[in-house]
Amino acid sequence: MVEVRMRSGWLLRKVMLVGAVLVSVVIAAPAATAEPVYPRPDPDPFYAQPADVARHDPGDVLDSRIMPPLPFFPDTTVTVIKFRSTNSRGAPIAAITTVLTPREHRPDGPLLSYQHIINGLGSQCAVSKVLFTSDPNLFVKESVALNVALRRGWSVALPDHLGPNFAYGAAKLGGQITLDGIRAAQRLPQLAVANSPVAMAGYSGGGMATAWAAALAPSYAPDLRIAGAATGGVPMNMLKMVNSLGWQPHPAFGLAMAAAIGLEREYPDRLPISTQMNRQGLAARDAMANGCTNEIMAVGAGHSAREFAASTSMIDDPGVQDVLRENSLELFDGVPNMPVFEWHSPSDPLIPVDAIVNTDRRYCAAGVRLQMDVNASPEHLSAAVFGVPSALAWVDARLRGEPAPSNC
């Protein structure tokens, strides 16, 4: 969910300046509506929601296509799958996953579902689009680690886990899409992964989708056999996240605001946040409504909810609180039915670390084979890098069938 490059004061000042300019430009535009703002429709008909989606079961393949080869994933076939999934209200939706199949793949060789970080509210932020973009600000930063997996003969699935409305912040939705994406990959015969050992991994927002998939698997996808889930830097409590990033000026306030926009898209009746925004807030919302990381961070940097709110009454509304709770893994009573590797920085300034610790303790008490790795990084971004080698080694051992360790 969060990935921030604030490594120096000059960069922070630059982002805040750009954000101020963007907001002031949009404020000069005609007044925005207080209705929820959804992403621009994708011009590619492949991404359209089919009229008969409700006739299919979760994980059913609705369409697929082979894409051009990618130079940064050599000797690898790229297959994009559209499949049936379920949104947070239980309604059927079509979702997307991209499967990388290496030359070294053998039938029923390992399948890794890797939930990439998606800080975005627009269609160009989807992993299936980022793979083919020429925008230097949008690329798969984990390509080196993924190439290690590919050269081992693993197939790699990369789901667009924010769903068709880019509901950033809707964590439960991301878990369901991840699980259905695995089902879809296993149901597409040409991928030859129907009986593959499966593992999941992800960091930050991708870790949130992964962690939710692990916790939801026993109830939402009991048919799946998953060898393990590696989750890093996971925002596990949306209530705490909103409170820590929202009410005082913060360089990463854009992420909190993007989560509010995304959750409104997913829960328009229960969390109509746009009705609580003043003119400046609606302008900022519209400025980031189709943006990815850079736009979201620039618009929100140094601002706070107090600046953009016409009323703050909604934050205490029981319905709003319920939506945030429903997307907070710390407060979800389900536990994974698979081993888990969890890593984070003990001083991460962007996510509530105590929520991670509390969730780990609950999993341990429930008997989950949990390997916790608190690394030496002082912040969010470098913690991802420090933890990847251990996480990859842990996943490799699970896919080879080795018993999972635990340091509960």
Asked if residues 39 and 124 have their Cβ atoms less than 8 Å apart, the reply is: no
β-strand pairing of 340-344 with 111-115: unpaired
Instruction: List helix spans (H) across 247-352.
Output: 253-266, 279-288, 293-300, 305-308, 318-326
β-strand pairing of 92-102 with 155-159: antiparallel
Q: Which option is the CATH number for 45-196: 3.40.50.1820, 3.90.230.10, 3.30.460.10, 3.40.50.300?
A: 3.40.50.1820
Give the contacts of 262 (CB within 8 A, at least 6 positions apart).
Answer: 121, 162, 165, 166, 167, 168, 169, 170
Q: Quote the pLDDT of residue 319.
A: 78
Give the percent of the chain with pLDDT over 90. Answer: 76
pLDDT at 20 over 60: no
pLDDT at 164 over 60: yes
β-strand pairing of 76-86 with 61-67: antiparallel
pLDDT class for 27, splitting at 50, 70, 90? very low
Please name which of 173, 122, 139, 149 lies closest in space to residue 289, comparing C-alpha atoms: 122
The mean pLDDT value for 216-242 works out to 94
Q: Quote the pLDDT of residue 136.
A: 74
- The CA–CA distances, whole Å, from 144 to 130, 150, 385, 397 equal 16, 10, 11, 19
Q: How much is the pTM?
A: 0.91
Asked if residues 262 and 167 have their Cβ atoms less than 8 Å apart, the reply is: yes
pLDDT class for 144, splitting at 50, 70, 90? confident
Tens digit of each residue's pLDDT (9 = 90 or more) over 262-288: 999 999 999 999 998 999 999 999 999
Give the contacts of 337 (CB within 8 A, at least 6 positions apart).
Answer: 217, 218
Give me the residue spans of the domains in the chain: 9-30+238-325, 45-196
Buried b / exposed e over 45-70, threshold 16 CB at 10 Å, is eebeeeeebeebebbbbbebeeeeee
| Tally of CB atoms within 10 A around 367 | 10
pLDDT at 194 over 50: yes
Sheet holding 198-203, edge to edge: 61-67, 76-86, 92-102, 155-159, 111-115, 198-203, 226-232, 340-344, 370-374
The mean pLDDT value for 304-333 works out to 85
Q: Quote the pLDDT of residue 19.
A: 40
Would the CATH topology of 9-30+238-325 be identical to that of 45-196?
Answer: no
Q: Quote the pLDDT of residue 399.
A: 98
Q: Quote the pLDDT of residue 13.
A: 37
pLDDT at 1 over 80: no
Class of domain 9-30+238-325: mainly alpha
Kindly state the tokens that stand for 75: 């000797």
Kindly state the tokens that stand for 343: 């890593």
Q: Quote the pLDDT of residue 246.
A: 58
Considering only residues 1 and 143, tell me which one the structure prediction assigns the higher pLDDT: 143
